[in-house]
C-alpha cells in the first residue's frame, strides 16, 4: 500500500484532491474522512463543524446536517462580534447545539442532554446516516 491509496477503503487518491494526512503519513479519501468524523462525533458527543446557511457540514461538505432552529445575537459573541446558536439533529439522531462566533464559519457542536425533538428513532437515524456515508465502501 502506498500513500496514494486510502488507508480505509483502498481507493486511489488523486493528487492534491481527496487526501487527508493521517497518523504515520497514512491518507484517507474525503469519503472515509467524513465517516471517521461521523463516528468521532457520535463517540465524543462534541466536535467542530461549519455553519453555512441552513446546514452544518464537515470541512469537505460531505457530511451534512440540517439546522432546525437558529438564533442570532449581533454582539453576543463577545468583543463586539456576533454569535449564532443553531440546533440540529446530530449524527446519533439526538438534538445537538452549535455555537458560532465572529466572522468564521467554524462552530463548536455538542450533544444536548435533553431528548430529541423529532419522532425519529435516533438509532435508525444514525444507522441510515452512517450507511449513506459508507455507501462508497461497497462497490
Nearer to Zn ion, 107 or 133 (CB): 133
Match 461497497 to its residue by C-alpha cell: 138
Nearer to Zn ion, 6 or 98 (CB): 6
Nearer to Zn ion, 10 or 78 (CB): 10
The minimum distance between CB 20 and Zn ion, in angstroms, equals 9
> Contact region for Zn ion (CB under 5 A) — 26-34, 48-56, 71-79, 100-108?
26-34
29 part of the interface to Zn ion, by CB under 5 A: yes
Per-position x/- string for 2-21, each x denoting binding to Zn ion as judged by CB under 5 A, each - no binding? ----x-xx-x----------
> Contact region for Zn ion (CB under 5 A) — 29-37, 56-64, 82-90, 112-120?
29-37
The minimum distance between CB 138 and Zn ion, in angstroms, equals 12
∠ Cα 127 131 137 (to 5°): 145
Alpha-carbon dihedral angle through residues 22, 23, 26, 29, given to the nearest 10 degrees: -20
Half-sphere exposure in the Cβ direction for 13 (13 Å, CA)? 25
The residue ranges that bind Zn ion (CB under 5 A) are 6, 8-9, 11, 29, 32
Amino acid at each position: 500500500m502506498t500513500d496514494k491509496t486510502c488507508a480505509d477503503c483502498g481507493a486511489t487518491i488523486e493528487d492534491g484532491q481527496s487526501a487527508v494526512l493521517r497518523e504515520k503519513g497514512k491518507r484517507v479519501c474525503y469519503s472515509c474522512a467524513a465517516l471517521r468524523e461521523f463516528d468521532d462525533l457520535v463517540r465524543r458527543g462534541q466536535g467542530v463543524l461549519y455553519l453555512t446557511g441552513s446546514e452544518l457540514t464537515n470541512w469537505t461538505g460531505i457530511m451534512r446536517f440540517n439546522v432546525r432552529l437558529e438564533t442570532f445575537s449581533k454582539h453576543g459573541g463577545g468583543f463586539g462580534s456576533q454569535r449564532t446558536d443553531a440546533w440540529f439533529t446530530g449524527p446519533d439522531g439526538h438534538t445537538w447545539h452549535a455555537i458560532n462566533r465572529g466572522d468564521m464559519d467554524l462552530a463548536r457542536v455538542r450533544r444536548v442532554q435533553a431528548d430529541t425533538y423529532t419522532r425519529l428513532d435516533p438509532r435508525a437515524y444514525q444507522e441510515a446516516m452512517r450507511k449513506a456515508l459508507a455507501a462508497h465502501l461497497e462497490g
